């Protein structure tokens, strides 16, 4: 077994150890295979999320198509709506991405849609890393209009990292072609062997960065409103009708009303959560921020809050406060409440498939990626139609018609309306109608969560040819919110075990 040990410290206080593990270490079981168990995927995810932010039933694989580079892709149906594009996935609800055309020859690249990333990048043709050899790449031979700068970049994702050079070219997303600055990687860590996508499309709200896609889209005047809306599919449900639309919501993809919550003053897609619950019982774990991250597979919260939530679930058990085993036949709904509206999370999404021992785990993990906040990834987002409105600085939710199967009228509402009618919405007040990080402790091993590429740590500087390792340079393009201000420092160690831990 290989255990990756992580400890986190702030920019102003860094501790080193030699030959011993401190309490601040988080051991993570890591296995770089596409067929990883859920808990091992979660371990990878937690590691990456720390850097960004300082499921479901087993599908029918007959719906998957093989890419030239051997990755499976569950392709989305084509959309006829303007400024709208289908969202593909890997067939396991693990990552969601779109086909993007880049350059004069319109080369297709698969890019992860990531609301926690402020910048974008694709694997470059000059990259000789194993991950690049397995993916589509882009470079000067693919476009006459490509402009490569002399400025390099380095992005850390916890256990993964990429480095390369900033470049500018025409990028086409959802039928819109804009001139855009993005990164071309020279080195890409092996962690990206796990994913089908060739790069990341950063959809964070941070303003002022040339590499921010929403900024570039707003300047292009391609859409009247600087917003995008996401409807993700569940692989086990069959045909992939997931999509992302820019400029306005698509009434065909949601039911009930869209209820909005302000993101406040920070440049993060994060809103205050009222509460969470299970089968109608509330856990009293709200009143704090919740980051809504399309680049994260699972859900993360503080150990105390996650413990309170699982206390409502019959049979939920944990030996470490991070990963919880739950009865595989659990059929109750989790609820997440924003602006007085309960949004339901189906057990199809919050209960993992059985592992080799026949045990199921909850996809809600007691791991505090962001201090004092929740992080809600695709486990939650699959159940809602999510509207990210940069102009009005708010996030809206309605019922996802793809995964819910219901259909009601589709008018927008302000956050004060709090009315939504659909099968997944519940009344929360009289006037409201709207709807494994496997951690080890001593000789014990228990499971926690992988994936997720939330807010990345970005640095930029002068490009150096044939540079294989990122250099620490002035941070010029990282988001300006409180997460980026923390500027976590990460140290990883690999410890080999020659015996299985109990």
The b/e string for 268-278 (b: 16+ C-beta within 10 A; e otherwise) is bbbbbbbbbbb
3-state secondary structure of 74: strand
Could you say which DSSP state residue 124 is in? B
Could you say which DSSP state residue 174 is in? T
Tokens standing for residue 499: 């015996």
Task: Give 409-453 pLDDT, tens digit per residue.
Answer: 333 433 333 333 233 343 333 333 333 332 223 333 333 333 344
CA dihedral 274→379→445→9, nearest 10 degrees, is -60
Tokens standing for residue 454: 């939330």
pLDDT at 16 over 50: no
For residue 222, report the phi and psi dihedrals to the nearest 5 degrees: -70, -30
Residues with a known catalytic role? 114, 293
Identify whether the C-beta of residue 392 lies closer than 8 Å to the C-beta of residue 473.
Answer: no
Q: How many CA atoms lie within 13 A of 241 on its CB side?
A: 15
For residue 107, report the phi and psi dihedrals to the nearest 5 degrees: -70, 135
Identify whether the C-beta of residue 414 lies closer than 8 Å to the C-beta of residue 429.
Answer: no
Could you say which DSSP state residue 252 is in? G
How crowded is residue 312: how many other Cβ atoms within 10 Å of its Cβ? 17
Of 361 and 404, the one with more pLDDT: 361
Identify whether the C-beta of residue 413 lies closer than 8 Å to the C-beta of residue 434.
Answer: yes
The beta-strand segments (E) located in 334-379 are 334-338, 341-345, 360-361, 364-366, 373-376
- Across 66-87, average pLDDT: 84
- Across 43-63, average pLDDT: 54
Residue 158's pLDDT band (boundaries 50, 70, 90)? low
- Across 135-163, average pLDDT: 92
Identify whether the C-beta of residue 117 lies closer than 8 Å to the C-beta of residue 456.
Answer: yes
Runs of H (alpha helix) within 257-316: 303-310
Residue with tokens 């009247």: 224
How crowded is residue 40: how many other Cβ atoms within 10 Å of its Cβ? 24
Residue 228's pLDDT band (boundaries 50, 70, 90)? very high
pLDDT at 98 over 50: yes
In this predicted structure, what is the pLDDT of residue 480? 36
Return d(Cα 222, Cα 229) in angstroms, integer: 16
Residue with tokens 């694709």: 122
Return d(Cα 293, Cα 52) in angstroms, integer: 11
Q: How far apart, in Å, are the Cα atoms of 298 and each of 295, 345, 381, 436, 452?
A: 10, 12, 10, 12, 8
Instruction: Write down the mean pLDDT value for the chain.
Output: 76
Domains of the chain, CATH where assigned: 249-426 (2.40.70.10)
Task: Give 276-328 pLDDT, tens digit per residue.
Answer: 999 999 999 999 999 999 999 999 999 999 999 999 999 999 999 999 999 99
Query: CA gyration radius for the chain?
Result: 21
Each as own residue / partner, the long-range contacts of residues 71-75 (CB below 8 Å, 24 or more positions apart, any chain) are 71/134, 71/135, 71/195, 71/196, 72/196, 73/110, 73/196, 74/233, 74/235, 74/240, 75/240
pLDDT at 476 over 60: no
Residue with tokens 């990210």: 388
CA nearest to 88, candidates 222, 197, 217, 212 = 197
The beta-strand segments (E) located in 158-253 are 160-173, 176-188, 199-202, 227-231, 243-246
In this predicted structure, what is the pLDDT of residue 208? 52
Residue 457's pLDDT band (boundaries 50, 70, 90)? low
Return d(Cα 287, Cα 428) in angstroms, integer: 16
Identify whether the C-beta of residue 477 lies closer than 8 Å to the C-beta of residue 460.
Answer: yes
β-strands 425-426, 394-400 pairing? unpaired
């Amino acid at each position: 077994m290989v255990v990756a040990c992580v400890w986190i410290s702030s920019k102003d206080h860094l501790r080193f150890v030699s030959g011993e593990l401190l309490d601040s270490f988080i051991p993570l079981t890591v296995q770089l295979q596409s067929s990883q168990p859920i808990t091992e995927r979660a371990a990878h995810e937690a590691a990456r999320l720390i850097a960004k932010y300082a499921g479901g039933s087993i599908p029918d694989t007959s719906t998957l198509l093989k890419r030239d580079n051997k990755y499976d892709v569950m392709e989305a149906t084509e959309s006829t709506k303007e400024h709208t594009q289908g969202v593909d996935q890997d067939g396991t609800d693990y990552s969601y991405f779109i086909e993007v055309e880049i350059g004069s020859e319109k080369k297709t690249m698969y890019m992860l849609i990531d609301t926690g990333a402020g910048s974008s990048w694709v694997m470059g043709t000059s990259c000789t890393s194993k991950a690049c050899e397995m993916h589509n790449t882009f470079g000067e031979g693919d476009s006459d209009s490509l402009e490569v700068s002399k400025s390099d970049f380095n992005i850390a994702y916890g256990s993964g990292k990429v480095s390369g050079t900033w470049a500018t070219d025409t990028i086409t997303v959802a039928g819109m072609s804009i001139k855009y600055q993005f990164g071309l990687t020279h080195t890409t860590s092996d962690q990206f062997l796990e994913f089908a996508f060739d790069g990341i499309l950063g959809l964070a709200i941070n303003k002022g960065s040339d590499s921010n896609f929403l900024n570039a889209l707003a300047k292009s005047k391609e859409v009247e409103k600087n917003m995008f809306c996401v409807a993700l599919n569940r692989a086990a449900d069959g045909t992939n009708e997931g999509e992302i639309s820019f400029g306005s919501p698509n009434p065909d993809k949601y039911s009930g009303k869209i209820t909005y919550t302000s993101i406040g003053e920070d440049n993060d897609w994060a809103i205050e959560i009222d509460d969470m619950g299970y089968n109608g019982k509330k856990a009293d774990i709200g009143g704090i921020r919740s980051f809504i991250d399309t680049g994260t597979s699972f859900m993360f919260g503080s150990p105390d809050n996650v413990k309170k939530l699982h206390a409502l679930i019959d049979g939920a058990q944990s030996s470490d406060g991070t990963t919880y085993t739950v009865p595989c036949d659990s059929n109750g709904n989790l609820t997440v409440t924003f602006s007085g509206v309960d949004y339901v999370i189906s057990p199809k999404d919050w209960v993992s498939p059985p592992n080799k021992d026949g045990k199921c785990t909850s996809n809600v993990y007691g791991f505090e990626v962001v201090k004092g906040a929740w992080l809600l990834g695709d486990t939650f987002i699959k159940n809602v139609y999510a509207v990210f409105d940069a102009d009005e600085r708010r996030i809206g939710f309605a019922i996802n018609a793809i995964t819910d199967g219901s259909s009601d009228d589709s008018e927008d509402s302000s956050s004060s309306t709090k009315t939504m009618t659909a099968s997944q919405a519940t009344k929360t007040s009289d006037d409201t109608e709207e709807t494994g990080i496997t951690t080890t402790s001593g000789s014990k091993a228990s499971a926690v969560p992988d994936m997720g590429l939330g807010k990345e740590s970005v640095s930029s500087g002068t490009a150096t040819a044939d540079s294989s390792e990122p250099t620490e340079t002035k941070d010029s393009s990282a988001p300006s919110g409180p997460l980026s201000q923390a500027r976590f420092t990460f140290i990883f160690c690999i410890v080999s075990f020659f015996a299985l831990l109990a």
